[in-house]
Chain A
């Protein structure tokens, strides 16, 4: 005889702890629970309000550098470690949970121009104004030992940037040219030049690991393949790009931070036209870093703010600033997607939450569920005017606010100009040519716009 047993998963009816509320079977008859839309709307409204109230992104400031922080590097295997190099040649290793500097070393004379950690996390490389590349051990030297680099390579010219290969013992430096180095050799295994006198940034593609991209001072972005003898492709923009960053989840996408206040996301197969132009900054964008999920990126700007952009959106979803934060020179997104680190002119490194209102730490299941639900509600009612207004409201310092306004006015004027001209001209019958095509690379409009801005800024400062 067979006994059939109804089998249920205990997770469905057993509460997690004795303190938890007992599960009660519910009657889901819709007539018993009327007004679902208004009720959910109210919940969504509350959730949005709370989100704004709890949006406190600033976590900590790491104080200790004696000059502006010029570059930073993430530790590839340890989330709690951060490396930073300053303009006085000092490199500091930070422990983020304790917010303490665990190690300081005088790496270079003059600026530390760039740094990167080896993929295994055992050592890191720095380049400086003293024309050297130095490799350092990640661990601090033992008691009584001298702080000495593992390796040092003396070059002829200044290196302005460095990046390490994702899997092999190969790194790339940039300066007058882009060099590919083997860690074991004292000379580069390959160097690339393409009619440029200086390259400011070079980055390995984290996915297609043999590819590189660099930003040069002749306003170009150049792509390289480590295996090829020549560079691959070049695109010249209207303004110089400061840095670029590859998307860690999409092999062919990269974003560059430009001097013309914008960021441009390119598909490397189609360099003639950027996919998206990200604009919100009111001054040159100095650094950019993708979140490890590849869904968002953060940009640091000369206008003393950092902004977080969704990957393919032209406007930022969030802006962070503090009164004391000056020009933000470098920015990094932590490898667990939860924090953002910024290094700025006033010698501080700041730690921010990537999601301003997110509750960090361990969450119980019910908390998590509630969070998910409120997120969903916010998303569901995002188009409702009141909710939209609350979610979108951000505070900006007065300077940036006024600059934004100014820029907006200028942009509007520029947009209107051809229309007005046409209106005033005699042959008003001719149709307006669609101006959308002008976006290619950077519209020439932007240059004039930029110049105007410069003048205005100068005026503003004086």
Chain B
């Protein structure tokens, strides 16, 4: 640095000198001649350096020259204006008043020393020294030539600058390695800065400011939210402690109670004893009755209202299908009803409920019923969902069918249930059992009728459908097995496909890589390949692009074919064997048989009952059937596969020649010996991968249509095929990744903003990067919330919100804050 400064000062002095010179010869202010100046400068320099040294030698010549000039001017006769010349006084006029006449003559050392000899006072030692000096004839070395000095100068200067420039290397590398560069570099985020940032950089200057700051500092005053100092906050906390304790105690109490009740209810609900429930119900009912009686006595209006309520409930029940066994639950039960008594019972209960509710209240009601408690106990909520369209296949919904099993199956059960019912009803209604049963029947019938009226076509449909069902049942039994196994196989096939595909890829790479490296070795000397294929055709539209691809196809196809031939069958054998073992265990049915067996044709009468849409579907199906009447896709597929299998089998090479060592002629076969000898059997190929997959053809051959899209050589910068595959395999799109991941994955390397000027990199960034490595210096003023410095505005905001919420909860504290 110091050197440079010195240089700068030298430059300055030089320039100042030059300025003075320019002032002198004022004729040349604007017109400027470099060459001349350079010359002048050189002279000047010489003058400066050597004036004192060699004036003696020059002065003689000068004098002569001057004389000559005078003579010439005298010859001309004209008086010429004498040029103003700068002359040093010391050269012309001697200090010691001696004429400068002999000044030009050279004085040798011996001349001077002559006097020395004569003076006796001179010290002997000095004399000796002088003599030595005289005898020594060596001259000083010449200074280096200008070229050479410059060369050295240049070298030094270049080394220095290259060292200076190398400082940038770190930041350049950093930028090259950066995941993302956002230009312009070192942008400051737009928008207002958070207070912390502003304050941190600010220094108190005036005494007042100093004082204020010291006060704030002492109190650890935070800058933004929360506005309370830690001290204040602590005191606030202390104040609210008692309150908090009380409140907590209350809450604890409430929670304990709640949990206690919950536990109790749970326990009660879990009790399975029917008797207990019955008793419970009874008790409840009694209580209710009592209440009602009381009500009737006390205020009949209320009682009347109760009655009305009940009436309303009846009406609602009649309107709704709630207990008519049409819900999901009911349907599921209906399916089970055949085998499960419980289910049957539940259904019946439902119907009973319906009956009960829809019964007209002739008498002043003794039994006051609220359906909800019972319902919740017996039936889950979803059971009562109304359903618009019932499944026609559901026998329970077909009216008669539903009734039959219940009636037929077992009289005993029925009786039991009846007994139960009666037991139940005895308590609330003093009515006969038979009546009830009749009523039930009536209800059921009604129910059926209702159904029928809703679907007038059902009757016509029912019988054939039933038959169909029975017919198909036999098959159904078989099918599930088959389907499941097939499903399994499908899963396997998929996985197998994957592994196969990968292996294929890997193999392709290996073979090609080997080839590639060979080529690379050859081509490594050659240059980097061009980035562009430049041609004469223009690409203007998508069609052009496709055409372009077509051209490429033809070109690359040949190469690919060649590559395919090199491919070797993979090492998939072992894995396959393992897998087949596994499969043997799993497999029950021969899939080939299943597939090839003729499908049983079932004649299903067209269901006219179906709704319009379904009809349309059926039509379409018919249409499709008609259209593909002649096609037997499955058979075609199997044929195709067979053909492939045949083609893949090794052929016996027959090398027998007729007549050698035997009789030859028409109709003569070569002998057995010969056949055995000359017919060469080729070793069987590894078993086909798809031999156990009847509906799959797996081909090991590399298909050229796919190869066209595949990478044939390991690209540069990848060392192994696996790396490359991995890079391809990981998806980047939003279909497979979360939004944040996609953003991260697809972030461009260089981001520039439209309309923002990008300045060249500056020294600041260099200094900054250096500072980062060194570690940050602490700011002069550290305030209480300096910890929150790094927080973004969002975080701050959230914090503020929290604070507000807390304040709302605690009004007193808010008041304090306001007073502050």
Contact = CB atoms under 8 A, between A and B. Distances in A.
B165 A208 contact: yes
A293 B758 contact: yes
Contacts of B32: 153-156, 186-187
B258 to A, nearest CB: 16
Interface string A361-380: 11000000100110111001
B530 A280 contact: yes
Interface stretch (B68-76, B480-488, B704-712, B812-820): B704-712
Given A28-B738, A317-B532, A401-B536, A292 B715 contact: no
Contacts of B154: 230-233
B531 interface: yes
B748 A292 contact: no
Given A187-B22, A393-B535, A336 B747 contact: no
Nearest to A190: B11
A273 B35 CA distance: 34
A295 B180 CA distance: 13
A103 interface: no
A177 interface: yes
Interface in A31-46: 33, 36-37, 39-41, 43
B23 to A, nearest CB: 12
A67 interface: no
B601 interface: no
A375 B542 CA distance: 18
Contact of A77 (B35, B727, B757): B757
Contacts of A3: 805
Nearest to A276: B528
Nearest to A376: B746
B532 A295 contact: no
A393 B18 contact: no
Determine which residue in B165, B183, B761 has the highest number of CB atoms from chain A within 10 A of its CB, and name it.
Answer: B165
Contact of A398 (B158, B536, B710): B536
Contacts, number: 261
Nearest to B731: A36
Contact of A395 (B4, B150, B538): B538
Contacts of A317: 531-532
B299 interface: no
A392 B533 contact: yes
B162 A187 contact: no
User: Most B CB atoms within 10 A — which of A206, A293, A404?
Assistant: A293
Given A12-B739, A384-B711, A293 B750 contact: yes
- Majority secondary structure, A binding face: loop
Interface string A244-262: 0000111110000000000
Contacts of A448: none
B35 A156 contact: yes
Nearest to A188: B34
Interface stretch (B121-129, B411-419, B545-553, B778-786): B545-553
Interface residues of B, number: 99
A400 B534 CA distance: 10
Given A231-B154, A249-B172, A316-B531, A390 B754 contact: no
Interface string B741-763: 01101111010111111111110
Interface in B142-177: 150, 153-154, 157-158, 161-162, 164-166, 168-169, 172, 175
A198 interface: no
B794 interface: yes
Contacts of A337: 183, 752, 758
Interface in B541-563: 541-542, 544-545, 548-549, 552, 556
A413 interface: no
Given A36-B735, A394-B535, A384 B710 contact: yes
Interface string A32-71: 0100110111010000011011010000000000000000
Interface string A124-168: 000000000000000000000000000001111100000000100
A338 interface: yes
Interface string A275-299: 0000010000000000011110000
B22 A318 contact: no
Contacts of B175: 249
A133 to B, nearest CB: 11
A439 to B, nearest CB: 10
Contacts of A186: 29-30, 32
A315 B526 CA distance: 14
Contacts of A191: 34, 38
Nearest to B8: A227
A336 B31 contact: no
B660 interface: no
A189 interface: yes
A40 B731 contact: yes
A116 to B, nearest CB: 14
B193 to A, nearest CB: 21
A436 interface: yes
Given A336-B755, A361-B754, A380 B525 contact: no
Given A156-B34, A295-B750, A361-B754, A386 B251 contact: no
Nearest to B732: A376
B499 interface: no
B430 interface: no
B153 A229 contact: yes
A1 interface: yes
B746 A373 contact: yes
Contacts of A409: none
Given A7-B798, A385-B708, A369 B166 contact: no
A317 B534 CA distance: 11
A458 interface: no
Nearest to B498: A34
Given A223-B158, A394-B535, A53 B731 contact: no
Interface in B665-683: none
B537 interface: yes
Given A206-B760, A401-B535, A40 B162 contact: no
A386 B760 contact: no
A49 B259 CA distance: 67
Interface string A425-448: 000000000111000000000000
A255 B455 CA distance: 89
A380 B556 contact: no
Give the interface centre of B549, B708, B737, B739 by most chain A CB atoms within 10 Å: B549
A43 B733 contact: yes
B181 interface: yes
A434 B525 contact: yes
A335 B556 CA distance: 42
B37 interface: yes
A269 B168 CA distance: 12
Contacts of B158: 223, 232-233
Interface string A329-371: 0000001111000000000000000000000111000000100
A142 B754 CA distance: 32
Interface of A: 1, 3, 7, 9, 12, 28, 30, 33, 36-37, 39-41, 43, 49-50, 52-53, 55, 76-77, 79, 153-157, 166, 176-177, 179, 185-191, 206-208, 211, 223, 225, 227-233, 248-252, 268-269, 280, 292-295, 310, 313-319, 335-338, 360-362, 369, 372-373, 375-377, 380-381, 383-386, 389-390, 392-396, 398, 400-401, 404, 415, 434-436
29 contacts: A30-B736, A36-B731, A53-B539, A53-B540, A77-B757, A153-B30, A156-B35, A177-B34, A185-B15, A186-B29, A189-B11, A249-B761, A252-B162, A280-B530, A292-B759, A293-B183, A293-B752, A316-B531, A319-B534, A335-B757, A336-B757, A338-B754, A369-B742, A384-B710, A390-B539, A394-B532, A395-B538, A396-B536, A415-B526
Kindly list the 3 A-B residue pairs having the minimum CB-CB distance in the complex, ordered from nearest: A292-B758, A248-B760, A206-B760
Given A53-B544, A207-B761, A393-B534, 15 more contacts: A40-B732, A55-B539, A77-B757, A156-B34, A187-B18, A208-B165, A211-B161, A228-B7, A251-B761, A315-B531, A361-B754, A373-B746, A380-B727, A384-B711, A385-B552
